[in-house]
Structure 1
Amino acid sequence: MENLQGLSLLLLGALASTLLPPGVQSGKILVFPMDGSHWVNMNLLVQSLHARGHEMTVVRTATSWYVKESAAHYRSITVTLPQAIDIEEEDFFVNFLKKMLEIKKQGSSVITFGKFYWEMMTGLYNIHQKASMLAVEMFNNQTLMKELRDAQYDLVLIDPGLPVGVLIAHELKLPTVYNVRWITSGEGHFVVAPSPWSYVPTSGYAVPDKMTFRQRAMNIFYYILNTCVDEFVVCPPYNRLVDRYFGPDVNFYHLLQGADIWLMRVDFDFEFPRPTMPNIIYIGGFQCKPSKPLPPDLEEFVQSSGEHGFILMSLGTLVRGLPVEITSEIAAAFAQIPQKVIWKHVGERPKNLANNTLLVDWMPQNDLLGHPKIKAFVAHGGTNGIYEAIYHGVPVLGLPLLFDQFENVLRLETRGAAKVVDAARISSQNFLEAVKEVLENPSYRTNMKQLSDLHLDKPMHPLDTAIFWTEFVMRHKGASHLRTQSYKMPWFSYYSVDVLCFVLAVLLLLVGTVVGSLRFLCLRLCRRSKTKQE
């Protein structure tokens, strides 16, 4: 009997070890996040790793907007900068958006394009110039650097949109994991995976993967433009840091590309198909979860919508308010529909606001999107909101404002799950027509439901996937076997230009030899013939 019990316990132990993911003893993780909406999902990853027993240390600046100095699930290192990074100022995005909308209202022309990109590049340069000072303050603080070395961290978890953590990780000689979609000036795939211009739309160019000849030509133009932006706008402050602290033999871009694992916040039910690499792990929608009951006041408002249901509107965490002339047009359109509207709005109260519209400064977005009475989601196209809409199968009316939002809503529109409205040319009439189309055309909800089914049909929740691969890097002290060395090759070797030139030279030599031989033979024959005739 005892032998049978022992055998049963052994079998149960073997079964448990097979079903459960391999664990890792609690480790120490140093975290370099970005502020705003990026911190929302990074914080979830930090909480989950802390729940697994890991000791989390988050590096923040004294002016950080979202990343708090105290939290139960991490300790913080606060660095004071000479100037606050622009994205940590609450009014930065409001002012930036106003400029962008004013430029877009001027129409499409070379001058407008130039103004738009000048504003973008000026803002980008200022952000990275100030962000690079975080590395200076840390490297120059010998006490802090000694503390970091003595702590013996196992891993550095980085949002590489601001890549200071990449430099610190190199100094500490630690493996790195990126919680990423965007790097310094574009989408992360473009610096780590092959990205053919013919069917992979480049960052900042909102087109589908089935491009016309003109779109493919423009795609190359935008790719070259992004490369120039990286080379002359984004990288210079970090290149100076690398030269200063690591010497001329270290290349900043190689450090940026050399992460062990890229936890990519996209999924191929949303992203267009494209080449990838073995160290890119897809965790799109890892922040999504089933909805919970609403607070009583919101539930009462939602239930008052009756059979018509309600619409949710949110423009995310970065933009705290649209210009009142735009919000008033939106409010006038909402006043003409039977649905109730819950609108996350901070700023001047819109004119024409009707009784069916409830303004709130905060709301449980995930729980509202999972409510059975939800009919549509009016969203700016941020990645977090897009994936929550996909998760719950809610069609989207896209109102893209900045950065990648135009590309995000285009991907949904291409799949028939969203309708897009240009915020710079919005009116109550065209907004009302768009709202009615999303509400009354069942194809939008059907297509979004199909995307939701694809997204949910996975062997493991994306958050569990992220945790597994983070701990994988800790267990194995890196993941170099998954990392290609192609990024260290010079461009002429990467594209085999040197090989093609060699082959061309050999062919030319062969052709030259054959032509020369034939010419020599012909001349010789001609001379013999002439000699005989004489």
Structure 2
Amino acid sequence: MFRSSQCVPVLVLVLCHTQHTYSGKVLLWPGEHSHWLNMKNIVAALSAKGHEMTVLTHSATPTITADQSTSCSFEIVPVPYTAQDMTDMMDEIFHYWMYELPNESFIQVSLKIKEIIQRTTEMNKVFCRAVFKNKELLEKLRQARYDVLLTDPMFLCGELLAETLDLPLIISLRFSHANTLERLCGQLPAPPSYVPSTGKPTSVCEAMGKADIWLIRTYWDFEYPRPFLPNFKFVGGLHCKPAKPLPEDMEEFVQSSGEDGIVVFSLGSMIKNLTRERRDVIASALGQISQKVLWRYSGEKPDTLPPNIRLLDWIPQNDLLGHPKTKAFITHGGTNGMYEAIYHGVPMVGIPLFGDQPDNMHHMKTKGAAVILDLNQFQGQDLVLAVNAVINDPSYKESTMRLSRIHHDQPMSALDQAVFWIEFVMRNKGAKHLRVQAHNLSWYQYHCLDVLAALLATVVLIAVIFFKARRPNPNPCRHCRRRTRGAADTERLIAELIQTFHSAKGHDTMGIPLLDHDRIQAIWEEQRRHLHCRQDPPGLRELIGVEYLYSQTGRVLQDVSLDPDTLDKAADIQDMDLDVKDEGFEEEEDDCTVHCPTPSLQQPSQEIQLTHSRLGHHLQLPLKPFLNAKVDELVSLWSVLPDANKSRLIYPSRHWERIVKGQVKSTKGKTSVVPGKESPTGVRRPRWAAVLAHYIKIRELVLGSPRLIAQTMLQLFELNQRTLSQWFSRRQKAWERAVLQQDVVGTRIPAMAYQQLPPPRGDRTSGLRLCHPRRPIAPGHPARKEREVERLACAEDLQSYIACSLWTAGRDNHGKQV
């Protein structure tokens, strides 16, 4: 009675500390061979916690059978294949990969791999159709109300079954080739600097992307550091366990090795046979080492088997690797065997065969825990050296033990983590909160290309606005008239303005007109015809007297090269961005720039026959040489002129032009004229060169007369492209001014002190009609006689006649008043 009373409190205490357990239903779609071996550990752990496990597989499975485990139930789907068909196909693939692939070209390998993929894909399609066309099976699975589906994505249709049954999906895999599934389906960050690969997602990949949890069968003791997502859980080595005691006969063999220890050799459960040459080389090499060897091999035995080697169809690999006498592990690089070696800290000699095995062994080699050999290339001595290296070199053992410590230093074991996250999904009916939004983004959104494009467009827009604001308008006047309003609107506005001034608004309070409406109207009627006109190029005849008139304007001339192809850079810099407005009120000063060449002692030049040149007003005039008789006439006329008429006249110079990229432009950018041919490309230099060449001849002809140079101030200065362009723009302005003055008001001769005042401005009919020709008149023309009569009529004495003659000659030659 006393003992019973003591047991009651103990029982109550035990019941109080009992943990709450959640029992769920898990549906499994497993893989074959080593994939099933990993998943079977999860099945056993979940079954131990009371969860109901159901394995869905097909009738042709070579590894998943109902008698292997009693902790789960099986749903077998019939397919038109047998387990032997599956085994034969896998043996054929392994044989090709191990022995034929290394000796074939890239094209042959690609074609063969394509054929293998097609065969396996067709077989997977048969399995999938067998499941999804079985309506009774699908209905049975729906009625079972499973909580989660656990699948291996290397064997397809598990993700489609989860979507069909509307179940949370958990994926368990080591890794896919080039991390394609993890990157494209799971959106795991894997830039090309980590893993280069090609390909794009498919509809199956989108279904896999809906997985709530990805159980990746690797860990940071093996993997390289890289970013990962919250629904990716790394459970590498979940099948590893502490070593158990070995069978008696095997333990006796291991203990007989003494201090040298043993070497475990296994190429996996899928490699059942080797070629005769390879197995003899391996057996001969392993017979040369001092350690004893346990070799898992079920094929034909080598011709000579050394006494230190024991062949076994099956070995407890995990228990052997955990034995203290194990010195090295010769492996094909499978994930299971590799993690068992890491778990127990055993250095490795890798002989990778296919699949992920080369990648696995290269990971171990870079971490200093393994040596790699090629199955078809290594010789017996290479295997001996590799085994001795990993056994005798302490660095391999130290590196392996370091990886083992990292693997064991976790808050919970890999198997417990896998079980926890499966239960987590069952408890919360999924784990959608752990899935990133990258699944819903397009590829350009995932890489932020849309954001980059928007930022780039903003920068470009700001740059365009900035440069447009800073860039000066090369032709503001043209923009206003032709782009904003147009020539027609400009003409209409000017006409309305003139009409407004003619109305009552154009008179003062006394009723007196503010402007001369008749004169303005006459000017506008004449100017309207020239809105769209373009001036003609200068003629050679006009250049003879133009330079003299140009010298009277007060502009500074510099003695520059006559080379028409050489630009006067100094002059360009001096005239750049100048806007000088001279209204003609400056004081008269001595012109220190007048060039006075030394009189030539040579005889006058011979008569030179020059070609006719085109004048500005479409009239051809022959260029005649200056004969001695003409010189006498000019000197006599010059001598009778008063000093006032010989002095320099000042004319307003409003436009300072310069050559800009071969085109004559004003500094204000309002005009753009092209001497020579009308071409938008600007000045034709051959045209300028021809004009300058003829002008040089004319200048030499004039300067060749010593009497004319000594007794008069008629001079022709040196001319270059710059001065010629300046003259052309000035001549254009003179023509425009002459057009405005035609038939409106007579051109006045410079008034003398003893002359009478001109007639009243308003009386245009009274008084003498002064000569102001519209265009030059060739010698011998009938109009010449009328012009002489006008000169005599308007001259009161000889001096006025000479002044009028010089003025008329100047108008005949160049269209400017002297």
Q: TM-score, normalising length from structure 1?
A: 0.83
Distance in 1, Cα, partners of 2:461 & 2:61: 64
Paired residue for 2:287?
335
- 1:262 equivalent to 2:214? Answer yes
Q: Which amino acid aligns with 2:73?
A: R
Partners of 1:41 and 1:261 in 2: CA distance: 17
Q: Report the alpha carbon displacement of residue 118 of structure 1 after superposing the two structures with TM.
A: 3.1
Unaligned residue ranges in structure 1 (runs of 5+): 1-6, 203-218, 236-250
Q: Which residue of 2 aligns with 1:43?
A: 40
Local SS of the residue matching 1:262: strand
- 1:523 Cα deviation after fit: 5.0
Give how far 1:495 is off.
Answer: 1.4
The higher relative CO (CA closer than 8 Å, separation ≥ 6) is in 1
Q: Which residue of 1 aligns with 2:63?
A: 66
Aligned counterparts of 1:504 and 1:348: Cα–Cα separation in 2: 69
The Cα offsets for residues 318-342 of structure 1, whole Å up to 9 and x where unpaired, read as: 2222323212111110011111000
Corresponding residue for residue 162 of structure 2: 169
Matched, 1:132 2:130: no
Q: Check conservation: 2:149, 2:169, Cα contact below 8 A.
A: yes
Matched residue, 2:649: none
- Contact residue 93 and residue 319 of structure 1 kept, 8 A: no
Q: Report the Cα offset of residue 369 of structure 1.
A: 0.4
| Long gaps (5+) in structure 2 | 1-8, 477-576, 578-664, 672-725, 730-818
Contact 2:181 2:205 in 1 (8 A): no
Measure the CA separation in 1 of the matches of 2:288 and 2:96: 30
Whether the 8 Å contact between 1:267 and 1:282 is mirrored in structure 2 is: yes
In 2: Cα distance, 1:142 partner to 1:184 partner: 34
Deviation, structure 1 residue 69: 2.9
- Kept in 1: contact 2:265–2:331 (CA 8 A): yes
Change (3 A) 1:501 1:453: same
Residue identity over aligned pairs, in percent, reads 38
Distance 1:295 1:511 in 2: 82
Q: Cα distance, 1:63 vs. partner?
A: 1.0
5 Å-filtered alignment, 1:84-95, equals 89-95=86-92
Equivalent AA in structure 2 for residue 275 of structure 1? P
Counterpart check, 1:100 vs 2:97: yes
- Give the whole-Å Cα distance in 2 for the aligned partners of 1:313 and 1:527: 95
Out of 389, 394, 408, the position equivalent to 1:442 is: 394
Query: CA–CA distance in 2 between the matches of 1:259 and 1:371?
Result: 39
1:480 matches 2:432: yes
| Structure 2 Cα separation of the partners of residues 73 and 9 of structure 1 | 29
Between the aligned partners of 1:437 and 1:384, the Cα distance in structure 2 is: 23
Task: Give CA-to-partner distance per residue, 1:120-172, whole Å, 9 cap, x none.
Answer: 33323321231122221111111111101111111101111113111011011
**1:389-417 deviation per Cα after TM superposition (whole angstroms, max 9, x unaligned):** 00100000001001100111111111111
Q: Distance in 1 between matches of 2:327 and 2:355?
A: 27
Structure 2 residue aligned with 1:118 = 111
Residue identity opposite 1:415 in structure 2 = K
Structure 2 counterpart of 1:37, one-letter code: S
Q: Which amino acid aligns with 1:119?
A: K
Q: Residue 147 of structure 2: which of 143, 154, 160 is its match?
A: 154
Matching residue's letter, 1:152: R
SS at match of 1:425: coil
Counterpart residue type for residue 308 of structure 2: N
Change (3 A) 1:98 1:364: same
Of 521, 525, 529, the residue aligned with 2:668 is: 529
Q: What residue identity is the alignment partner of 2:135? A: Q
Shift in Å, 1:482: 0.6
Structure 1 residue aligned with 2:327: 375
**How far is the alpha carbon of 1:258 from its aligned partner?**
1.5
2:318 to 340, 343, 366: 366
Q: How far apart are residue 13 of structure 1 and its match?
A: 8.7
SS of corresponding position for 1:305: coil
Q: Could you tell me which of 227, 230, 234 is aligned with 1:278?
A: 230
Matched, 1:408 2:377: no
In the TM superposition, what is the alpha-carbon distance from 1:470 to its structure 2 partner?
0.5
1:187 Cα offset (Å): 5.8
**CA deviations over 1:171-197 (Å, ceiling 9, x no partner):** 110001112223588465323211022
Residue by residue over 1:221-277, the C-alpha shift from the partner in whole angstroms, topping out at 9 and shown as x without a partner, is xx12xx26xx6xxx6xxxxxxxxxxxxxxx322111121111111010111111100
Residues 85/485 of structure 1: CA separation in 2 closer, same or farther (3 Å cut):
farther
Distance 1:184 1:441, change over 3 A: closer
- Distance change in 2, residues 1:280/1:11 (3 Å): farther
Tell me how far apart the structure 2 counterparts of residues 364 and 429 of structure 1 sit (CA, whole Å).
28
Aligned to 2:79: 81
Output one character per residue of 1:466-509: Cα deviation in whole Å (capped at 9) or x when no partner.
11110010000000111113123221211122332333333333
CA contact (8 A) 1:312 1:368 kept: yes
Matched with 2:350 is: 398
Distance in 2 of aligned mates of 1:84 and 1:514: 76
Gap change, CA 1:486 and 1:269, over 3 Å in 2:
same
Query: 1:425 and 2:372 equivalent?
Result: no
On the 8 A contact 2:351/2:375 being kept in 1, the answer is yes
Between the aligned partners of 2:123 and 2:87, the Cα distance in structure 1 is 16
CA 1:485/1:11 → structure 2, altered by over 3 Å: closer, same or farther? Answer: farther
Quick check: 1:178 aligned with 2:175?
A: no
Closer/same/farther in 2, CA of residues 278 and 286 from structure 1, 3 Å limit: same
Are 1:52 and 2:191 matched, yes or no? no
Secondary structure in 2 aligned to 1:57? strand
The answer to whether the Cα contact below 8 Å between 1:376 and 1:395 also exists between their aligned partners in 2 is: yes
Q: Distance in 2 between matches of 1:41 and 1:197?
A: 30
Query: Which residue number in structure 1 is paired with residue 190 of structure 2?
Result: 195
* 1:342-357 aligned within 5 A: 342-357=294-309
For the residues of structure 2 that align with 1:94 and 1:55, how far apart are their CA atoms?
Answer: 35
TM-score scaled to structure 2, two decimals? 0.55
- CA distance in 2: counterparts of 1:287 and 1:446, whole angstroms: 23
Partner of 1:511: 463
SS in 2 for 1:443: helix
Deviates more, 1:311-320 or 1:356-365: 311-320
Secondary structure of the corresponding residue to residue 90 of structure 1: helix
Asked if the contact 2:60–2:82 (Cα under 8 Å) also holds between the matched residues in 1, the reply is yes
Contact 1:163 1:184 in 2 (8 A): no
2:21 pairs, out of 17, 20, 23, with 23
**1:211 match:** none
Preserved CA contact (<8 Å) 2:474 2:669: no
Q: Which moved more, 1:128-137 or 1:153-162?
A: 128-137
In structure 1, what is the Cα distance between the partners aligned to 2:459 and 2:359? 45
Which one has the largest radius of gyration?
2
How far apart, CA to CA, are the structure 2 residues paired with 1:46 and 1:184? 26
Asked whether the equivalents of residues 37 and 318 of structure 1 are also in contact (C-alpha less than 8 Å), the reply is no
Contact 2:98 2:354 (C-alpha < 8 Å) held by counterparts: no
Alpha-carbon distance between aligned partners in 2 of 1:400 and 1:99, rounded to the nearest angstrom:
14
Considering only aligned residues, what root-mean-square deviation do their CA atoms show, in Å?
A: 2.7
Aligned mates of 1:184, 1:399 — CA distance in 2: 19
Write the distance in 2 (CA, Å) between the matches of 1:150 and 1:412: 47
CA shift at 1:380, angstroms?
0.5
SS in 2 for 1:424: coil
> 2:365 & 2:110 partners in 1: Cα distance?
25
The aligned amino acid for 1:476 is N
